[in-house]
Amino acid sequence: MSERLRLMAVHAHPDDESSKGAATMARYVREGAEVLVVTCTGGERGSVLNPKLQGNPEIEENIHEIRRAEMDKAREILGVDQAWLGFVDSGLPEGDPLPPLPDGCFAVQPVEKAAEPLVRLMREFRPHVVTTYDENGGYPHPDHIQTHQVSVAAFDAAGDPDAYREAGDPWQPLKLYYNQGISKARIEALHAAMLARGLESPYGEWLERWGDRPERDITTKVPCADYFELRDQALIAHATQVDPDGFWFRIPLDVQRDVWPTEDYELVRSLVDTELPEDDLFAGIRQAAKA
C-alpha cells in the first residue's frame, strides 16, 4: 500500500481497550498498521475492583489520575496511540428504581454534540477501520451504550462535507465493526476444554445463567493468539480495575491458544467489497489498494 493501514478502536473507559480487541490491535501494530485507541471518558466514577487495592483512600481520592497512568502503561504495552475525548464517566447506576445519571456526564450528552470531537479525531487520524460496541454496549453500562451511539454517528458523519464543517476535512472510514469477544460458543468451547483436561472451569455458573438470549452474528475472526500474553499484560496494567489472580485469568494461555485463537467481530458497515466470513479487519481494503 502507498499508505499505512489505520485502525481506530473507540472505547468507553480506560481498561476497555485491553479487554476488548487488545490482541488484535497488538498484532496489527506489529504488522505495521497505525492503531489509535479513543477513550471517551476518564473512568472517574469507576470503583476500585481489585480487592488488593480496595480501601485505600489515596487511590480513591486520586482515581482519575491513577486511571490515566494505568492507561499510559497499557498503551505502551500494546504499542498503540491513544486519545481522550474528555467526557466524564457516568458511573453504573444501581438500585430499583435506578437513580438518575449525574449531571454533565457522558451518557446524558446529546449524541450529535458528543459525536463532534470523535468526528474531528476521525478526520485527523483518517482510519480505514473503526471498531466499537454494539447497540447493547456489550453490557448495559450507560457509557458503553453512548459509545455505540456516538461511534455510529461519527462514522456516518466523518465523510459528509456538510456535517461538522468546523471539524476538519471530510474522511470516510471504510468499515465499522462491533466487538463480539464474549460469545456463548467461545465460553462453551473453553469450558469444555478445561473439563476435558481435568481442570476446574470458571464458566460453569456463567453458562447456567446464560439463558436463551440471541447470539450475535460473528462475521470476522482475527487470528491473534501470539498476542494473548500482551493482551493480559495490558489488562493487568489497569491495576485498580483488574485482579491479576481473578476470573479473567483462570483459563491458561495454552488452552486459549489451542481452543479459541481469535478475537471476534461483527461487521456492520462496509464500503468495500468483502467476502464473509473474514479473518482480517482490513479484508477488502488491502485488495482495493492493490487494484
Q: Quote the pLDDT of residue 37.
A: 98
Phi-psi label, residue 66: left if phi above 0, alpha if psi -120 to 50, beta otherwise:
alpha
The residues with which 196 forms a beta bridge, in sequence order, are none
Any known ligand binding at 141? Answer: no
Q: Quote the pLDDT of residue 208.
A: 94
The answer to whether the beta carbons of residues 67 and 42 sit under 8 Å apart is yes
Within-domain flag for 203: no
Distance between CA atoms of residues 12 and 21, nearest Å: 14
Within-domain flag for 167: yes
Q: What is the full per-residue pLDDT of the chain (291 aa) written as tens digits?
A: 458 999 999 999 999 999 999 999 999 999 999 999 999 999 999 889 999 999 999 998 999 999 999 999 999 999 999 999 999 999 999 888 889 999 999 999 999 999 999 999 999 999 999 999 999 998 889 999 999 999 999 999 999 999 999 999 999 999 999 999 999 999 999 999 999 999 999 999 999 999 888 899 999 999 999 999 999 999 999 999 999 999 889 999 999 999 999 999 999 999 999 999 999 999 999 977 665
Any known ligand binding at 13? Answer: yes
Give me the domain span that covers residue 227.
6-182+217-290
Q: How many domains does the chain have?
A: 1
- Cell numbers given for 13: 473507559
Within-domain flag for 280: yes
Amino acid present at 287: Q
Q: Residue 270: give its domain's CATH number.
A: 3.40.50.10320
- Cell numbers given for 99: 437513580
Within-domain flag for 211: no
Q: Quote the pLDDT of residue 247.
A: 87
- Cell numbers given for 104: 454533565
Within-domain flag for 22: yes
Q: Quote the pLDDT of residue 254.
A: 98
Q: Quote the pLDDT of residue 1.
A: 46
Within-domain flag for 201: no
Within-domain flag for 88: yes
